Structure 1
Amino acid sequence: MKRVLIAAGWCFAISSVWVSTAAVAADRFAQRFALELESGAAYYSVPLSAPVYAASQRNDLGDVRVFNGAGEPVPYSLDAPRESARAPATLRTVHWFPLPPAASGGTGAPLGVTIAADGSLRATSAPPDRAQHDADLVDVAREARGEALVDALIVHVRDDNYQGRVSVESSNDLRSWQPAGEAQLLKVSYNGSTLSQDRIELNGMRARYLRLHWLDGAPYVESIDAQVQMASAGAAQRADMQRQWREGIVARPGPKTGEYFFESGGPYPIDRLRLNLPQPNTVAPAVVYSRSGLDAPWREVSSATLFRLHNGTVEQSNPSLEMEPDTDRHWRVVVDTRNGGLGSGALIVAAGWRPATLTFVARGAAPFTLAVGNAAAVSSAVSRADLLMGASSVAVTARLGEELPVGQEADAQLSGKDPDAMRRYMLWAALLLAVASLGAIAWRLARGAQGQVAPQAGGVADGGGGVAGAAGAGGLAGDALGGSGAASATAKDAGTASADGQNTGKK
């Protein structure tokens, strides 16, 4: 029983050393950032910046912590941006009116157009010739009916080939106009297929009228559709966090023609990719893959036809690729090379994502810091509901400040040294000592077992030897006695023979 208790004690000691080592390792982080707060609030929230993602060593941001001035961790929640509850967008065909140059810059109803009592527009004259046509007036009030927002205009061009820029203005009274954006339209037909870019993004604008100025010549417009949605959904969409971008990622060519590889550099929840082609006048279909590690299989996340077309002073490229948020670090682009692929030069990638929001309780004294960068750390975040516990106070927005100097242990991590070497050596020493102790216990148990078995075996051997010795002695004695008897008998026979001879002689 004593030996069992000793072995259990060694196992407990080993487990304690292992747990304490892991717990200490979870408190060391490669980078720290200052948190700038307004005093007096109980809760603070801060969106995570790109340097935090780049420093994280876990795809789930499980190594993010918040510490107070005493170095104590404080409770926090980590929330990914939610998708806005959006009503399905609908396409509605809108009316448009070609305008001559003299009418496109005036105030009030332009020439050849009148305003009805309900605010809709009516044409009063024939449209101008294409040579004199440089703008279009779009009536979105009739179809949007005031309760919807305009996400985009889709301009259907009848020309087989068109490429040009368009500037957009908005107004509610046809008198005051505000800039609403600029876009590039494209339509290229080749070998029975058509490549088009016919969308003008307006980002949930509320306006009655839009004016399109064609900067590179007006196309032959066949029809115009407005993509509209309910105002509440548009408000939710505008409330989303601003997307962050990491620019200038160079994709390296792979071993196969048409393959390009790049790394995101952190667990960014990427939902947009911009692939900037190296040469103008390039059109190539492509498929995008990602994976979490070098041993994981590739999975397809998006596909599109990439293009970069140059026409005079106008250059147009494919829009960003959209996908579900993806935290994988390794990416692969496979381009169709049947028409030459991308040609020479480097493929430059830009990755976009919406950052997560960290909310924490301001427990303890300032200054508060955000720490990140420890692969051994496990997430200790709680849900936002559990963190707030129904509190009526609203989380105040904090700001992520400058990066702070790291400690010696973090310096060792960054410089390639191993800060866990001493603890690992101690753990191995404890393991070896425990194994040696268990071996000594086993040896002593074996010796004790042999000591108990040996006397019993010796007694049996001695008894057997005694019996064998007695039997041998008896046999030898018998032989000896038998020999003596034989000798006496022989002597007796000899005496008898001698006496017989003497008797015969006398006769």
Structure 2
Amino acid sequence: MKRVLIVTGWCLAISSVWVSTAAVAADRFAQRFALELESGAAYYSVTLPAAVYAASQRGDLGDVRVFNGAGEPVPYSLDAPREPSRAPATLRPVRWFPLPSAAPGSTGAPLGVTIAADGSLRATSAPPARAQHDADLIDVARETRGEARVDALVVHVRDDNYQGRVSVESSDDLRNWQPAGEAQLLKVSYNGSTLSQDRIELNGMRARYLRLHWLDGAPYIESIDAQVQTASADNAQRAETQLEWREGIVARAGPKAGEYFFETGGPYPVDRLRLSLPQPNTVAPAVVYSRSGLESAWREVSSATLFRLHNGTVEQSNPSLEMAPDTDRQWRVVVDTRNGGLGSGTLTVAAGWRPATLTFVARGAAPFTLAVGSAAAVSSAVSRTDLLMGASSVAVTARLGGALPVGQEGDAQSPGKDPDAMRRYMLWAALLLAVGSLGAIAWRIARGAQVHAGPQAGGVADDGGGTGGSGGADGAGGSASGVHSGSDAASATANDAGTAGADGQSTGKN
């Protein structure tokens, strides 16, 4: 019983060592990045690039840490991207004036239009014939009153089918014109419904007048609206320019027709998708689903009509699909195949998101490193308010440097120094000691079994010898017993013979 208890104790010790070793391994981070600081500020902030998301093993970036030069973790906050505040968009109808053919860069007031004392435009002649109509002049300031920025123009085309490019110019005096962008308009009747792309994005520009120059022929215009945003929309415009994109994602065809699967490769907070169709002149409704893993159910996140239409030199595609931020890694696109689906070829995807911002306290000595990618790590981030504690200093922007070698600990200690080396050595020493002790115990048990086996083997030999004496079995002990038994039998026979002779003599005398 004592040996059993000893063996059980050593088994438990080995199990604890194994678990401890696994825990140490799980606590390591898969990737570390150098943090480059330019001044001696107390707080620093860094926008997390795509490489940090790709290395993270948690959907909430809970495995992100910041270490100083001594390998100590420092306090940090992690601010997830927020939906930018937008003032309600307002569509206001604007007046437009068809213009005869003229070069887009020509100077001077357009023919057939005069400027009133208040700056508004008035027509002085009948509109040109359709063959001569290649531009439209829009009076923006009259409707917006100069108080807001113009996000976009919405051109309502009367034609049932139209596809063409348009260039936009802006001016404040009708003499000096500046390029303001280019767009493609589309209106197609499909399967009893209308597919249209009627927006001309202007990115919140300010201008009194706009001129549309039709590069593929002017359409019949029913009306034009200006989408106006107040000055509070500037933050939303800046947020749009801060988008990160992961492009070139190839979707693989699923087992069912019209089914496509792809993965983003990290917990990116995706809020828009660009789906590029493989073949031109394709129109197909589609539904997009996502899930976090194989054990989760698919959930619908967006739906739209996908298209890619080619007309001469003009090609138009569906705009990006917008959705609430989604950190799921697995995605599924189901396309309506009743009209051929997407045809042959490969569906490619681009995923866009607004990255999170990490703010940390520069406690301790440099260099500082950012670590990410540990399945055992739990988020230790604090709120930005608690981190700053009302400090008047502003967080200075830090830059995330290159990834450190996988074998190099990001705690940034002296070269070649491993902070976990001593612990690993102790664990291995305990493991070797446990194995050696188990070997010694096994040897002692085997030795004791051999000692006990000796007497038991002798007793069996004696029994076998006795049997051998009676039945002629082999063995020295058995032969000796057989000789002894034969002597006894001879003696008994001689005695019997002597007794019989004596009895005979006695009988004769009588």
| TM-score in terms of structure 1 length | 0.76
* Cα offset, 1:213, TM superposition: 1.4
Instruction: Show the counterpart of 1:323.
Output: 323
Q: How far apart are residue 225 of structure 1 and its match?
A: 0.6
Query: 2: distance between equivalents of 1:426 and 1:352?
Result: 50
Cα 1:158/1:240, change in 2 over 3 Å: closer
Q: Is the 8 A contact 2:27 2:376 kept in 1?
A: no
Q: Which residue of 1 aligns with 2:358?
A: 358
Shift of 1:159: 1.0
2:388 maps to 1:388? yes
CA deviation profile, 1:228-270 (whole Å, cap 9, x unmatched): 1211223453356610111110000111111000000000000
Is 1:94 aligned to 2:85, yes or no? no
SS in 2 for 1:134: strand
Q: Distance in 2 between matches of 1:429 and 1:147?
A: 79
* 1:109-188 equivalence runs, <5 A: 109-188=109-188
**What does residue 237 of structure 2 align with?**
237
- 2:263 is aligned to 263
Contact 1:21 1:423 in 2 (8 A): no
Specify the SS of the correspondent of 1:53. helix
Per the TM alignment, residue 429 of structure 1 is displaced from its structure 2 partner at its CA by 12
Looking at structure 1, the residues matched to 428 and 316 of structure 2 have their Cα atoms a distance apart, in angstroms, of: 61
* Counterpart-to-counterpart distance in 1, 2:383 and 2:370: 18
Structure 1 residue 140: Cα displacement: 1.1
Aligned-residue offset at 1:24: 4.1
CA distance in 2, matches of 1:229, 1:114: 28
Structure 1 position 160, deviation (Å): 1.1
Q: Which amino acid aligns with 2:306?
A: L
Q: CA separation in 1, counterparts of 2:204 and 2:86?
A: 12
- Distance in 2 separating the partners of 1:22 and 1:391: 41
Q: Provide closer, same or farther for how the CA distance between residues 98 and 424 of structure 1 changes in structure 2, counting only shifts above 3 A.
A: farther
Q: Aligned runs of 1:18-37 on 2, under 5 Å? A: 24-25=24-25, 27-37=27-37
Identify the residue that residue 224 of structure 1 maps to in structure 2.
Answer: 224
In structure 1, the residue matched to 2:294 is 294
Per the TM alignment, residue 179 of structure 1 is displaced from its structure 2 partner at its CA by 1.9
**Secondary structure of the corresponding residue to residue 338 of structure 2:** coil
Does structure 1 retain, via aligned residues, the 8 Å contact 2:165–2:215?
A: yes
In 2: Cα distance, 1:118 partner to 1:179 partner = 25
Task: Tell whether 2:53 aligns with 1:60.
Answer: no
Q: Is the 8 A contact 1:157 1:219 kept in 2?
A: yes
For 2:385 and 2:347, locate their aligned partners in 1 and report how far apart those are by CA, in whole Å. 44
Helix, strand or coil for the counterpart of 1:212?
A: strand
Asked if structure 2 preserves the Cα contact closer than 8 Å seen for 1:85 and 1:233, the reply is: yes
* 1:222 CA displacement: 1.1
Q: Distance in 2 between matches of 1:305 and 1:232?
A: 32
After superposition, the C-alpha distances for 1:401-425 in whole angstroms (9 at most, x for unaligned) are 1111122789xxxxxxxxx999999
Specify whether residues 118 and 23 from structure 1 end up closer, same or farther in structure 2 by C-alpha distance, changes over 3 A only.
farther
Q: Distance in 1 between matches of 2:212 and 2:426?
A: 70
Distance 1:215 1:256 in 2: 42
Q: Which runs of 5+ in 2 are unaligned?
A: 1-8, 411-422, 435-510
Paired residue secondary structure (2:125): coil
The answer as to whether partners of 2:138 and 2:210 remain within 8 angstroms in 1 is yes
Cα distance change of structure 1 residues 215 and 21 upon mapping to structure 2, 3 Å threshold: same
Distance 1:14 1:88, change over 3 A: farther
Partner of 1:468: none
In structure 2, the partner of 1:78 is 78
SS at match of 1:102: coil
CA 139–406 in structure 1, closer or farther in 2 if over 3 Å, else same: same
TM-score (norm: length of structure 2): 0.76
- Specify the code of the residue in structure 2 equivalent to 1:118: D
The 1:209/1:20 distance shift into structure 2, 3 A limit, reads farther
Match of 1:369 in 2: 369
**Is contact 1:81-1:240 (8 Å) kept?**
no
Bigger Cα displacement from structure 2, 281-290 vs 237-246: 237-246
Residues 131 and 75 of structure 1, relative CA distance in 2, 3 Å threshold: same
Show the counterpart of 1:456: none
Alignment match, 2:455: none
Mapped partners of 1:73, 1:37: distance in 2? 17
- Give distance in 1, aligned partners of 2:212 and 2:254: 44
Q: Secondary structure at the match of 1:153?
A: strand
The answer to whether 1:338 aligns with 2:328 is: no
2:135 touches 2:214 (CA, 8 Å); kept in 1?
yes
Counterparts of 2:336 and 2:425 in 1: how far apart (Å)? 53
- Structure-2 change in CA distance of 1:209 and 1:26 (3 Å): farther
Map of 1:272 onto structure 2: 272
1:94-130 deviation line (CA, Å, top 9, x unaligned): 1111111237543232111111222211111111111
SS in 2 for 1:285: strand
The CA deviation at 1:303 is 0.1
In structure 2, give the amino acid aligned to 1:215. Answer: L
Q: Write the distance in 2 (CA, Å) between the matches of 1:423 and 1:342.
A: 61
> Residue in 2 aligned with 1:448?
none
**Kindly, what percent of the aligned residue pairs are identical?**
86
Secondary structure at the aligned position of 2:251 is classed as strand
- 1:241 and 1:155 map into 2 onto residues whose CA distance is 25
| Alignment CA distance shift 1:409-1:293 (3 Å) | farther
Q: Which amino acid aligns with 1:372?
A: V
Instruction: Compute the displacement of 1:203 (Å).
Output: 1.5
Encode CA deviations 1:311-339: one digit per residue, 9 max, x unaligned.
01111000000000000000000000000
Query: CA–CA distance in 2 between the matches of 1:353 and 1:380?
Result: 24
| 8 Å Cα contact 2:94-2:138 kept in structure 1 | yes
For the 8 Å contact 2:245–2:351, the answer to whether it is kept is yes
Which amino acid in the other structure matches residue 324 of structure 1?
Answer: A
**Does the 8 A contact of 1:161 with 1:187 survive in 2?**
yes
Q: 1:249 & 1:421 partners in 2: Cα distance?
A: 41
Kindly provide the amino acid, as one letter, of the partner of residue 317 in structure 1: S
Aligned length: 414
Q: Partners in 2 of 1:310 and 1:279 — Cα distance? A: 10
Q: Which moved more, 1:330-339 or 1:189-198?
A: 189-198
Q: Which residue identity does 2:347 align to in structure 1? A: L
2:161 and 2:15 mapped to 1: Cα distance?
73
- Displacement of 1:17 in angstroms is 7.4
CA distance in 2, matches of 1:15, 1:148: 70
Q: Would the aligned equivalents of 2:170 and 2:207 in 1 still touch at CA under 8 Å? A: yes
Q: State the match for 1:466 in structure 2.
A: none
Could you give the per-residue CA deviations for residues 163-200 of structure 1, whole angstroms, max 9, x where no partner exists? Answer: 11111112222222222211111111134321111111
